[in-house]
Structure 1
Amino acid sequence: MDALIDAAREIQSRAHVPYSEYRVGAALETADGEVFVGCNLENANYSNSLHAEEVAIAEAVKNGHREFTRLAVSSGRRDGVTPCGMCRQTLVEFANDDLVILCDEGDDDPPREYTLGELLPNTITEEMLK
């Protein structure tokens, strides 16, 4: 299995999911090969919850990284979960359309691979706001 998928699986154990019990882990690889992980953190007011991808991006950016090559996402169900629309838009802020996104489909299947551009075409960008 891909080491990035393994990192996304491993961080799931730290997820705080008392309501949905749906654990998600994300592992974000920087251009220089460093990996930052995140897990979902639920709140009783669901709109205040943090998604695994957001946490991983925040960790990487906080540590000075702005260029990314790959993101792996895994749920405890190994159901091929993809980043939600909000997380996709956040990724666009820091990554190009060619960012590889690996979605864990379990031990018997290779991860499904997408690019950010495939998952979120025609994004809102800084250029559009000018």
Structure 2
Amino acid sequence: MTQPIAIETEQASALKLAKVAMQKAYVPYSGFSVGAVLVTQSGQFYSGCNVENAAYPEGTCAEAGAIAAMVNGGEQAIAALYVMGEGDVLVTPCGGCRQKIREFAPPSTPVHICSPDGIRQTLTIAELLPASFGPENLK
């Protein structure tokens, strides 16, 4: 049985993984690297980075990459998400990624918006995507 991860340990681990993912981003066109790490209900970590493409906008967002890694790892429940980017303005998930996150996370799920120096702000999915449409709407 997986033991719950202490919040301090979760945050430190997620921030480190997000920074590594951000540094691996493939961004030859925008030069704007983003790393994302999600923590599942079971306490596993999955990361992703943004990947651009010459056939713009056919790239992949960091959050989408982390979600794909989670699903490939056999999990489907996000407990928390960390999104890391540089700059003065908060680097929040795009609209499409907000909906992708919502597919696997309830509205109360925290999304930690980070810089390489740490968490800048924490918002819930409900704050990022109010009155969202989720899997429960189809039941």
> Does 2:125 align with 1:123?
no
Find 1:59's aligned residue among 55, 69, 76: 69
Please give the alpha-carbon distance, in whole angstroms, between the structure 1 residues aligned to 2:71 and 2:95. Answer: 20
Find 1:96's aligned residue among 88, 93, 106: 106
C-alpha displacement at 1:79, in angstroms? 4.2
Please give the alpha-carbon distance, in whole angstroms, between the structure 2 residues aligned to 1:99 and 1:17. Answer: 28
Q: Percent identity?
A: 37
CA contact (8 A) 1:69 1:99 kept: yes
Aligned length: 129
Letter in 2 for 1:118: E
Letter in 1 for 2:85: S
- 1:12 is aligned to 22
Please give the alpha-carbon distance, in whole angstroms, between the structure 1 residues aligned to 2:37 and 2:116. Answer: 16
- TM norm structure 1: 0.89
CA contact (8 A) 1:39 1:53 kept: yes
- TM norm structure 2: 0.84
The gaps in structure 2 that reach 5 residues or longer are 1-10
CA contact (8 A) 2:81 2:112 kept: yes
CA contact (8 A) 1:7 1:37 kept: yes
Query: What does the per-residue CA deviation read over 1:75-104, in whole Å, with 9 as the maximum and x for residues that have no partner?
Result: 143743111110000011111001110011
Summarize the Cα distance change of 1:106–1:16 in structure 2 as closer, same or farther, 3 Å threshold: closer
CA contact (8 A) 2:85 2:116 kept: no
Summarize the Cα distance change of 1:77–1:6 in structure 2 as closer, same or farther, 3 Å threshold: farther
Please give the alpha-carbon distance, in whole angstroms, between the structure 1 residues aligned to 2:137 and 2:119. Answer: 37
